[in-house]
Structures are given as structure tokens and as C-alpha cells.
């Protein structure tokens, strides 16, 4: 059961990060009347997938992915999208203080009770981890009495061995149509996998439905 939040901020580096990890959660909060702000740091312009068959090239991909992101937000009912203008595959090289300020300014503006991002070490992609590091440090610097709760996605193969099982599970089966629509919106990146996943969902494969219907997070603790 999702808690009624004052405001939720989602911070990810790439278009489609939200579709895979939190689109059911975002849709559910919006349906509950909870304001959601999504800060997408880049346009994923260095993505290797150009559609299958290709419908983009290296020059057109940024605009294609921007429109896909807008379409995904529309599918979820999300209206407060912030495109932050950083460059794909460079987040790890950005000045850490600049990244922390970017996150801090956003949090100060919207005053969320919950922030969702990536784990700072266990999110596989360098941009994911660097985003998580900036978010964790920005939230850490907020006085404890005012600090929002922080949920992180972690999916490195070694995650469970390092930090255990996720301690937050959002059941979003009732949002599956919106989640699938958000995934389909990112067609340049998802067509290749959705063909297989739709067959598995239709066959009622347990692990495929588990992924579709449950979104899992770790509540980040500041010890």
C-alpha cells in the first residue's frame, strides 16, 4: 500500500529509467492525487538502440527520445517533467558539487516528502550510480527533521548479497496498463524486449508478472 505523500520527486539520468523502475508507482501516486515531479537529467542521446528496425540515427535520436519521454509522462498522467539538459554518459564526470546543488535546488523548490532515485553503487550504469551519489549526498545534507524519505532502485547482480532484499514493495497491478503504455512510449529502447515480455505476460509467466506488478525499492538510511 502506497502512503499518501506530500510530494514525490523522481530523479533519474535517462528517458526510460522511470518506465522500467517506477512507472507503476508514479501512476499510482498521481491517481491518489499526490504531486509528482520527474527530473530527467539527460535525453539519453548516446543510447545504442535506434529502433528495431531503425527509425532514428545518431543526429535525430535526442529529439526522438525527448518525444518518447513526453509520451511516457503523458501515459502516466505526469505533468511536472523537468528536462535538466545534461549530456548522456557524462554524469559521472560532472562536478559533484554542481550535481548536489542541482538536486538540492529541486528539493528546496518542491519540498517533497519522498525522493526516488538510484542506489549510489548498485545500479549498474555509471550515470545511474553517479545520479544516486548526488541524490544521496543532497538528501544527507538536509537537517534530519526536514529530510525527505529516500527510496533507491538497486539491481546489480550482487545487490541482495550486499544489502539484502528490498524493504519497500509497491503493488501496482492495477496500474499495469499505464506501465505498459509508458514502456511502449520509449519504443526506440523497448521494442526489442516488449515483444518477448508481452508473450510472457500473456502466458501468465510468474516471474514476468512479478516484475510487471511489483516495484521494489530500498529505503536509504543515513547512518
HEC string of the chain equals CCCCCCCEEEEECCCCHHHHHCHHHHHHHHHCCCCEEEEECCCCCCCCCCCCCCCCCCCCHHHHHHHHHHHHHHHHCCCEEEECCCCCCCHHHCCHHHHHHHHHHHHHHHCCCEEEEECCCCCCCHHHHHHHHHHHHHHHCCCCCCCCEEEEECCCCCHHHHHCCCCEEEECHHHHHHHHHHHHHCHHHHHHHHHHHHHHHHCCCHHHHHHHHEEEEEECCCC
Query: What is the arithmetic mean of pLDDT over 179-194?
Result: 93
pLDDT at 54 over 90: no
9 falls in which pLDDT band (50, 70, 90)?
very high
What average pLDDT is seen over the chain? 94
Distance set, CA 168 to CA 164, 165, 217 (Å):
12, 9, 5
pLDDT in tens, 106-145: 999 999 999 999 999 999 999 999 999 999 999 999 999 9
pLDDT bin (cut points 50, 70, 90) of residue 48 is: low
Q: Strand 168-171 to strand 80-83: parallel, antiparallel, or no bridges (unpaired)?
A: unpaired
Residue 51 has pLDDT above 60, yes or no: no
Cis peptide before 53 (omega within 30 of 0): yes
**Three cell numbers at 78?**
505526469
pTM for the complete prediction? 0.95
Class of CATH domain 8-219: alpha beta
Amino acid at each position: 500500500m502506497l502512503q499518501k505523500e506530500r510530494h514525490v520527486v523522481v530523479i533519474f539520468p535517462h528517458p526510460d529509467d522511470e518506465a522500467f523502475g517506477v512507472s507503476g508507482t508514479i501512476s499510482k501516486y498521481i491517481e491518489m492525487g499526490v504531486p509528482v515531479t520527474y527530473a530527467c537529467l539527460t535525453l539519453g542521446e548516446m543510447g545504442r538502440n535506434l529502433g528495431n528496425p531503425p527509425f532514428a540515427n545518431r543526429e535525430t535520436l535526442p529529439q526522438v527520445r525527448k518525444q518518447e519521454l513526453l509520451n511516457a509522462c503523458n501515459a502516466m498522467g505526469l505533468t511536472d517533467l523537468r528536462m535538466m539538459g545534461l549530456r548522456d554518459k557524462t554524469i559521472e564526470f560532472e562536478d559533484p558539487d554542481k550535481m548536489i546543488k542541482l538536486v538540492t535546488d529541486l528539493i528546496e523548490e518542491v519540498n517533497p516528502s519522498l525522493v526516488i532515485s538510484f542506489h549510489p553503487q548498485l545500479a549498474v550504469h555509471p550515470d545511474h550510480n553517479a545520479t544516486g551519489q548526488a541524490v544521496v549526498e543532497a538528501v544527507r545534507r538536509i537537517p534530519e527533521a526536514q529530510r525527505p524519505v529516500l527510496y533507491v532502485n538497486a539491481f546489480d547482480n550482487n545487490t541482495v548479497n550486499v544489502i539484502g532484499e528490498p524493504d519497500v514493495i509497491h503493488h501496482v497491478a492495477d496500474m499495469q496498463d499505464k506501465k505498459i503504455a509508458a514502456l511502449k512510449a520509449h519504443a526506440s529502447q523497448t521494442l526489442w524486449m516488449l515483444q518477448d515480455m508481452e508473450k510472457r505476460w500473456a502466458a501468465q509467466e510468474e516471474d514476468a508478472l512479478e516484475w510487471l506488478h511489483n516495484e521494489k525499492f530500498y529505503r536509504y538510511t543515513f547512518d
